[in-house]
Structure 1
Amino acid sequence: MDSLTPQDLFSPSKARQQRAQAADWAQIDSWLSYKYAGRTVPTFERNEETLKVLRELASANERADEERMVAERVEREADKEMKARSKDGEDGDGDGDGEDILATLRHHLTDEGLESLHALASTAIALNTPTTNPETLAHALIAHTSTSQTLTNNLAHIRTLQSYLQHQQSLLRAQLTALQHDPAFSTPPSIQRQTTEQVRQTKHLRSRIREYEDKLSSLQNGQRSAVTPASKNVSSTEAIADMLEQQAELEALRTKVESLEREVARFAGLPADREAARKEVARLEVELDEVRKRRDALFEGLVG
């Protein structure tokens, strides 16, 4: 009633609507106070949508209470009948008594109650729960749903990973086939002879470099000690020209040695024997496969 505007005072329909909503809110407040049993009711926004939801919730709660009361009344009546039969000392087959009790339960239940009882029993059996408590069934159903969703996601992830691994396996097999049959990756027949010749040339050039370095040092020392003031200009010019020529030759030899060393370094670690070199290449291929497997494992960890 506090939300009535001056215009609503002259509109009977709006006034009736406001009074009906106020009565509904009063009923909802009473129901919430009863359910919370003295505890503070949480605050919430009071609008028509909230009122509609709370009315539906209250109605569903009342129906559930009525169904529970009916079930309890049936259980009490069945318990009374069983106690009465035990006191009267009736003898008979146990299966017959169970059938009578079941028939009595079915007779006192409505069609909706029988359908609910059948649904409750079927749900308990499907979920493999020890009790038919609705709360226990709800928790079991939530757990089964969560487990099913988790397994579905894991299965999709495993299928994606399997597809990726199959693709990588096909690529690795193609690369292995290329390494085994492509002549570009095979060891040339003259590798032993080339390696031996390059090593020999390298040793020879190193000895020549040391020889020229010694000569250059002796020439420089002799020039400093033997030059006189009269022949200083001539000797210094000839010595400089000779020194420059030897230095240019030395640089050329050094460049050639460095080139040969780079070529020899390509075959560093390979044995001189051709078959042994091929075995070493095969071993390196196996190590390459292991490195690729570790790379795939790291990628799989990143995807996970």
Structure 2
Amino acid sequence: MDTLTPSDFFSPSKARQQRAQAQDWAQIDSWLSYKYAGRTVPAFERNEETLRVLRELSMANEQADEQRVVQERLEREALNELEEKRTHDDDRKILDTVTAHLTSSGSSSLDSIASTAVALNAPAPSAEIMAHTVLHHTSASQSLANQLAHIRTLQRYLQKQYALLRSQLSELQSNPAFSAPPSLQRQTTDQVRQTKHLRSKIREYEDRLSTLQSAHARGSRGQEVASAEAIADMLEQQSALDELRRRVEDLETRVDEFAGLPADKEAARKDVGRMEVELDALRRQRDGLFERMVAR
């Protein structure tokens, strides 16, 4: 086998070829060791031609082994079929002999037993085995009948629920009560804008109040009694500030009622409809619980 030269390290294709040959030689060495079964493998020249011949020989040997395995399996199956045929021929002779000596009622009974065993798929035509088989089939049939009845009941319930959901969906799509007002988006935008404006006003008045309080504190250090006009102005501004705060809180409460709704009108309408359906479901659940409590 060729060895790697310094120039091969700069040739990826040559390096891949050398690695592939090394793997092939490793497989050939393993195959020869298996075939010689512990004996010493004869020495031979390791070149590309020898490697090609040994690869072809190993492939031919594997194919021959596979063909031999298939041939042995076919021979075993053929022998088994011959043995079964001999057994069937012997059983046939015994059956013919017994049938020939039976009366008409005995022959009819034998046919009945055989037909029953075949219909029940019983391993043997004994009375005990067929009785157990009949019991097993009866139990399985009853279990299947119960499951079928349960499935039919479930199907009827699902059909009823489907019809109810279809009617609720139709009502949600057609009833104007579940439709969002056309001006919902505009009202929400206006209220948000007013809220921002009032918040800025509150900050402005708070700054002015803080300034007046600071001036009043500085003036009170030099005077024992504050100016009546300054106090009246402060009280007026405080009252206006409280009024603005109440308006802002009112607007925030009204805006929070629409929290979570998308900006798109159709999407908001769908969300309102979904919430109405959930509310109806909770109401029905509450009524059902109340009825059960009353019934108890």
Query: What TM-score, normalized by structure 2, do the two folds share?
Result: 0.50
Aligned residues of 2:182 and 2:265 also touching (Cα < 8 A): no
> Which of 130, 147, 162 is the aligned partner of 1:154?
147
Cα distance per residue 1:129-170 (max 9 Å; x no partner): 242133432332233223222212221221222122112112
Aligned positions of 1:27-66 closer than 5 A: none
Cα distance per residue 1:38-95 (max 9 Å; x no partner): xxxxxxxxxxxxxxxxxxxxxxxxxxxxxxxxxxxxxxxxx9xx67xxxxxxxxxxxx
Counterparts of 2:141 and 2:234, CA distance in 1 = 88
- SS of 1:132's partner is coil
Counterparts of 1:103 and 1:236, CA distance in 2 = 140
Counterpart position of 2:208:
215
Counterpart position of 1:277:
265
> Which of 183, 187, 193 is the aligned partner of 1:194?
187
Counterparts of 1:204 and 1:255, CA distance in 2 = 14
Aligned residues of 1:205 and 1:257 also touching (Cα < 8 A): yes
Counterparts of 1:251 and 1:266, CA distance in 2 = 23
Aligned residues of 2:180 and 2:268 also touching (Cα < 8 A): no
Distance 1:254 1:158, change over 3 A: farther
Counterparts of 1:173 and 1:106, CA distance in 2 = 71
Aligned residues of 1:129 and 1:137 also touching (Cα < 8 A): yes
| CA deviation after TM superposition for structure 1 residue 270, in Å | 5.0
Gaps of 5+ in 1: 1-78, 84-96, 290-304
1:253 matched to 2:244? The reply is yes
| CA deviation after TM superposition for structure 1 residue 281, in Å | 4.1
Counterparts of 1:192 and 1:286, CA distance in 2 = 19
1:105 matched to 2:105? The reply is no
> Which of 194, 197, 205 is the aligned partner of 1:204?
197
Counterparts of 1:287 and 1:253, CA distance in 2 = 33
Distance 1:287 1:204, change over 3 A: closer
Cα distance per residue 1:193-229 (max 9 Å; x no partner): 2122112211111111111211222222222111146
1:177 matched to 2:170? The reply is yes
Distance 1:287 1:243, change over 3 A: closer
Gaps of 5+ in 2: 1-89, 278-296
Counterparts of 2:246 and 2:230, CA distance in 1 = 26
Distance 1:257 1:286, change over 3 A: closer
Question: Residue type of the partner of 1:257?
Answer: V
Question: Residue type of the partner of 1:154?
Answer: Q
Question: Residue type of the partner of 1:264?
Answer: V
| CA deviation after TM superposition for structure 1 residue 249, in Å | 3.5
Aligned residues of 1:179 and 1:185 also touching (Cα < 8 A): yes
Query: What TM-score, normalized by structure 1, do the two folds share?
Result: 0.49
Counterpart position of 2:122:
129
Aligned residues of 1:209 and 1:253 also touching (Cα < 8 A): yes
| CA deviation after TM superposition for structure 1 residue 106, in Å | 3.0
- SS of 1:148's partner is helix
Counterpart position of 1:28:
none
Counterpart position of 2:14:
none
Where relative contact order (Cα < 8 A, 6+ residues apart) is larger, the structure is 2
Counterparts of 1:146 and 1:235, CA distance in 2 = 104
Identity %: 51
Counterparts of 2:222 and 2:116, CA distance in 1 = 121
Counterparts of 1:184 and 1:286, CA distance in 2 = 13
Aligned residues of 2:179 and 2:269 also touching (Cα < 8 A): no
